[in-house]
């Protein structure tokens, strides 16, 4: 059930794109994300920080997409977001000596500091990889091909998150007696 809740905005976006256009699909994504967060709130009685950030980003960048009505903006937006995320994580970790992942998830996952650092470095690398990959597709392929890449490119975050989960599972402390 939870997986269905997590992916229905994305599925609706691609269906709307195939039937209508990128701008209608953006509106559908925005509405579906609001509905998704409402459903999550109804179930959990709260939204996690990452969910709030996701909602804010979808609404702000969706509104910019609809307002600017420029396909280049749509295609390059993920490259900028991934690059900004990599930069923010790197600056926090190496510049300010703060681990953002640990600050966001530390209350839910009890991991050694070295594991948090390795996770953050992995996220920095992943974000740089995704920024570069999206940049290549945005620069050299049509909008139709880019949308197809966004659909089938979900294999990258899924594989990355599964890998992260397997890595984290090895380091979780068992709280059972």
Q: What is the pLDDT of residues 92-138, one digit of tens each?
A: 999 999 999 999 888 888 899 999 999 999 999 999 999 999 999 99
Q: Is the predicted pLDDT of residue 51 greater than 70, yes or no?
A: yes
Q: What is the pLDDT of residue 3?
A: 72
Closest CA to 120 of 132, 111, 133, 108: 111
Average pLDDT, the chain: 91
Structure tokens given for 131: 């920024």
The alpha carbon of 55 is separated from its chain's Cα centroid by a whole number of angstroms, namely: 11
Q: What is the pLDDT of residues 144-162, one digit of tens each?
A: 999 889 888 888 988 999 9
DSSP summary character for residue 172: P
The continuous run of DSSP H or E covering 72 comes out as helix 71-90
Q: What is the pLDDT of residue 174?
A: 58
Q: What is the pLDDT of residue 177?
A: 44
Q: Is the predicted pLDDT of residue 176 greater than 80, yes or no?
A: no
Structure tokens given for 119: 């996770």
Three-state SS at 127: helix
Q: Is the predicted pLDDT of residue 66 greater than 60, yes or no?
A: yes
Q: Is the predicted pLDDT of residue 41 greater than 70, yes or no?
A: yes
Domain-by-domain residue ranges, the chain?
1-68, 70-177
Contact between residue 168 and residue 109 where contact means Cβ atoms under 8 Å apart = yes
């Amino acid at each position: 059930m939870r997986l269905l809740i997590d992916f229905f905005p994305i599925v609706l976006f691609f269906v709307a794109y195939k039937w209508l256009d990128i701008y209608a699909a953006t509106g559908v994504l925005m509405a579906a994300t609001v509905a998704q967060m409402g459903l999550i709130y109804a179930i959990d009685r709260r939204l996690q920080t990452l969910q709030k950030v996701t909602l804010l980003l979808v609404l702000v960048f969706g509104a910019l997409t609809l307002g600017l009505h420029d396909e280049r903006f749509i295609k390059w937006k993920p490259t900028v977001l991934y690059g900004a995320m990599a930069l923010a994580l790197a600056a926090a970790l190496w510049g300010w000596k703060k681990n953002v992942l640990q600050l966001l998830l530390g209350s839910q996952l009890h991991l050694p500091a070295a594991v948090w650092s390795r996770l953050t470095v992995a996220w920095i690398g992943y974000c740089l990889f995704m920024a570069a990959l999206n940049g290549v597709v945005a620069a050299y392929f049509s909008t139709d091909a880019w949308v197809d890449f966004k659909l089938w490119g979900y294999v990258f975050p899924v594989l990355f998150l599964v890998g992260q989960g397997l890595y984290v599972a090895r380091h979780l402390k068992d709280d059972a007696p």
